[in-house]
Chains A and B, each alone.
Chain A
Amino acid sequence: MRRRLGRVAAIICCLVLTACAGGQVRHGVGGPNSVSFALPPSATPNWILPLAIPGYTASYNGVIQSALFLPLYAYDGSSGAVARDDKASAAEPPVYAPDGKSVTITLKPLAWSDGTPLTSQDVQFWFDLVRAAKDDWGAYSKGLMPDDVTDFRVVDDHTFTLTLDKTYNPGWFTANQLALITPLPRHAWAHDPDPRKTFDYLVAQAKNLGGYNSNPLWKVVDGPFALESFSPTGQVTLARNPRYTGEDAARLDKITFLTFTSSAAEYNVLLAGGVDYGYVPTTNLGQKSKLESLGYRIEPWNGWSITYIPYNFNNPALGAVFKQLYVRQAIQHAVDQKAISQVIWRGTATPGYGPVPQDNDPTFLSDTQKNTPYPFDLDAARKLLADHGWQIGADGIQACQEPEKCGQGVDKGARLSMTLLTESGSDETDGTMQELKSELSRVGIELRINAQPLNTVLANGTTCEPSSPACSWQLSYFGTQGSWYFPAYPSGEQLFATDASVNFGNYRDKPTDDLIGASTLSTSPQSMMDYSARLAEQLPVIWMPNPPYQVSAIDTSIGGITQDPLAGLQPQRWYRR
């Protein structure tokens, strides 16, 4: 009897221990002090040289680069305000001259992993390479870095002064120009006295993904992590850099970046416990409680970004129509952003009414943008069109009946029928497009949806001349992968300035150009507020709800994670509880 009781007690103990162990689910693929991180669908890291050439500038490459090579200045927005992250920066705060025409920078006492100190020459090396090959540098825009720095003067081993071509807004210059600089190990990478040859050599080495594991170039780092392995399929493992000399040392032994061909594939692995820090497709948010029971916490990761649909103002058929502000106002009135955000995005997206990110730091957000001049109002949309000479025809589509009211370049009989080139394969994008088509049809605007793979949309919806066959696109939506992520300072010199590189719709507006120029030169935030208000009113694009960067599923045993809206990771601060 006693023996039987003993057996029963042993079984109960085993059951209790098993139950206790079951409550602490262990995820991931690495060791006990490591974390596996899921990269976005189809994202395959292919570049670790912190001087990216066009085509290799993806943010996931940048995440790995900044863990290996400290940027001169890092920024972070996870506190609610976008601000310099001094612990993750290689230099002390910059000191601008009283006339604003020069800036003096002092490096922190850091050393490379081979023991060589980090010096001003390492920053000068970066400048030499970029100046020699600026047209091949992915971040180059004419007139900006490095053109806006006329002289580099070494003061001592740790201090240097940059002379600027004019007086800039220091906040903008540090955030959007100095933050592009990453000190490089001159002693290890200066392959040739000619910087152009060295640049070409480094690019050639960086293109050789198979050499990442063995090439001594990539062994010399100054960041909190060092490269342990790099698979040509994109899986990357970083290990703690034991010779890191800064104040932001890694707490984890390893971090592994995992790649997936689709969000569904990632989600299946997440459910199986194969990822420590992954993401949940929005359509699977109904499984939140299931994931929580598996030991994950679910947190949306909002981005420092905006989402929009560009009009092609150069389109031969509809360019003149799109140039009429009242048409753009009518279309914007037909976008029910709140409903799209709440229902289709299940509350994870945020309505956006202008050119400044609206769901994070409000420093640059104008009241005009915040309160939107064109709320969802179909009657207002119909009235705008009726007041300007448009009538709904027998086919249910608005047609211009009074050309003198319709506006310059709009002929009698012109119809409000347009094609929207959009990303295929996303439930959220499909739903958004159906909703948009439906609401516009109630106003008498026909929207034809042409869903194509994202790469096709990206390749076709670009800047063009009116006479070019490439200008046949009318509206373009990059969908869930197409939000524009800003650097720390959300100015519009790349997006809405005349002839800007990402001004896909060829928008031209002199007051906007002036405001963008002022925002980069003036120290007052008012120019940014004015810019925010003007574009909220002028509607260079259709403003759309801004989805989160991702909805994260994070192993509850990992601490130190702050989801930075600038899409940075700072994995050196993560730890296992």
Chain B
Amino acid sequence: MTTIAVPTRFRLRGNGLAVVGTTILVLVLAFCLLGPLLYHTDQVHTDLGAARLSPGQQGHPLGTDDLGYDVLGRLMIAGRTSLAIGVLAGLLATAIGAIWGALAGYVGGWLDAVLMRIVDTGVAIPALFLLLVAATLITPSIGVLSLVIGCVSWLVPARLMRAEAATLRERDFIKAITVMGAGRFRVVFTHLLPNAVGTLVVAGTFQIAEAILLVAYVSFLGLGVPPPATDWGAMLSKGITYTYDGAWWLILPPGIAIVLIVCAINFVGDGLRDAFAARGRS
């Protein structure tokens, strides 16, 4: 296996957007994970007496929502939910897709045909439709939503990995270990997947961004995590209701947060792709 961490880090430094993305990512993570430790709010109990306060009123820097929750504090805990689901679902989708695609690409033949036709069929079904059906049947939670989003998002990584595996299996070192008697699963898990790590890392970052958007869609349609838990999509959905009240503080913060985090992760993904591409050329 090749050590990739050091050259990639150095190459990211030279990529402006990737640096911006990483910085935003770190700041958002700090905001969501460390923020509640410094800025204490009650995000469990409602306070109807303080509902829909505009920013700055009664000690609420970003105002309150329709049930009296402090919007700044809510943005932090909502971010935890969105990021947790995004990361878990993104990793799960990448893992499933990697194994599926590696098996298809390496083994080839009828197994490749069967596995990839399943992928083609899955791609034809809108993920959002599957998500809505699942969210209706199962009570949503962070674990359930991560699992469901992960299980409907692995198709693209599977295609990428299949193409990568089909290339790698023709390489001499794979042929050599095959001749030496290594089994298919040993080849896939010990040699093929580690050598496709660049593709997987890039695909993973895009999957995380995709999952954050998907959970926002589902929550926007009212099928997200049950209250008092929330996520940015649910906050945005609720805020839209009050557009004509002029309650911009219920719309802009979660909207900006979603845009920022998705852009940041995509910038990092682009940077990693460029870095791995450069490593491949060298």
A residues engaging B (CB < 8 A)? 283-284, 286-287, 290, 336, 339-340, 342-344, 424-425, 427, 430-431, 433-435, 437-439, 441-442, 449-451, 453
Contact = CB atoms under 8 A, between A and B. Distances in A.
Given A339-B49, A343-B66, A441-B45, A434 B228 contact: yes
A344 B46 CA distance: 12
B44 interface: yes
Contact of B48 (A340, A427, A442, A450): A340
A441 B44 contact: yes
27 contacts: A283-B241, A284-B241, A284-B244, A286-B244, A286-B245, A287-B244, A336-B48, A339-B48, A340-B48, A342-B48, A343-B51, A343-B67, A344-B48, A344-B66, A344-B67, A425-B222, A427-B238, A430-B227, A431-B67, A433-B227, A434-B67, A434-B228, A435-B48, A438-B44, A449-B227, A450-B139, A451-B226
A228 to B, nearest CB: 37
B242 interface: yes
- Most chain A CB atoms below 10 A, which of B46, B51, B136: B46
B45 to A, nearest CB: 4
A435 B244 contact: no
The interface residues of chain A, by DSSP majority, are classed as: helix
Contacts of B139: 450
Contacts of A433: 227
A447 to B, nearest CB: 11
Interface in B150-175: none
Contacts of B242: 283, 286
A233 to B, nearest CB: 24
Contacts of A339: 48-49
B74 to A, nearest CB: 12
B241 A438 contact: no
Contacts of A290: 244
B116 to A, nearest CB: 37
A342 B139 CA distance: 30
Nearest to A281: B241
A450 B227 CA distance: 11
Nearest to B238: A427
A416 B46 CA distance: 20
B198 to A, nearest CB: 44
A290 B241 CA distance: 15
- Most chain B CB atoms below 10 A, which of A284, A344, A431, A433: A431
A343 B53 CA distance: 12
A340 B244 CA distance: 21
Nearest to A289: B244
Contacts of A425: 222
Nearest to B139: A450
B270 to A, nearest CB: 38
Contacts of B228: 434, 437-438
Contacts of A449: 226-227
A427 B241 contact: yes
Nearest to B237: A427
Contacts of B226: 449, 451
A442 B48 CA distance: 14
Interface in B27-62: 44-46, 48-49, 51
A438 B49 CA distance: 13
B84 to A, nearest CB: 21
Interface string B219-239: 000100011100000000010
A284 B241 CA distance: 7
A531 B244 CA distance: 44
Interface string B237-279: 0100111110000000000000000000000000000000000
A435 B67 contact: yes
Contacts of B45: 438-439, 441-442
Contacts of B51: 343
Nearest to B47: A438
A344 B67 CA distance: 8
A433 B228 CA distance: 10
Q: Considering the complex of A and B, which 6 residue pairs feature the smallest CB-CB distances, nearest first? A: A286-B245, A339-B48, A438-B46, A343-B48, A287-B244, A438-B45
A430 B48 CA distance: 14
A451 B227 CA distance: 11
- Most chain B CB atoms below 10 A, which of A336, A434, A441: A434
A526 to B, nearest CB: 37
B244 A431 contact: no
A339 B52 CA distance: 13
Contacts of B244: 284, 286-287, 290
Contacts of B136: 453
A281 to B, nearest CB: 9
A433 B238 CA distance: 15
A6 B245 CA distance: 45
B186 to A, nearest CB: 48
Contacts of A442: 45
Interface string B9-20: 000000000000
Contact of A434 (B46, B241, B245): B46
- Most chain A CB atoms below 10 A, which of B48, B136, B242: B48
B49 A431 contact: no
Contacts of A286: 242-245
Given A283-B241, A435-B67, 18 more contacts: A336-B48, A342-B48, A343-B51, A343-B67, A344-B48, A344-B67, A424-B222, A430-B227, A433-B227, A434-B46, A434-B67, A434-B227, A434-B228, A438-B228, A439-B45, A439-B46, A449-B227, A451-B226
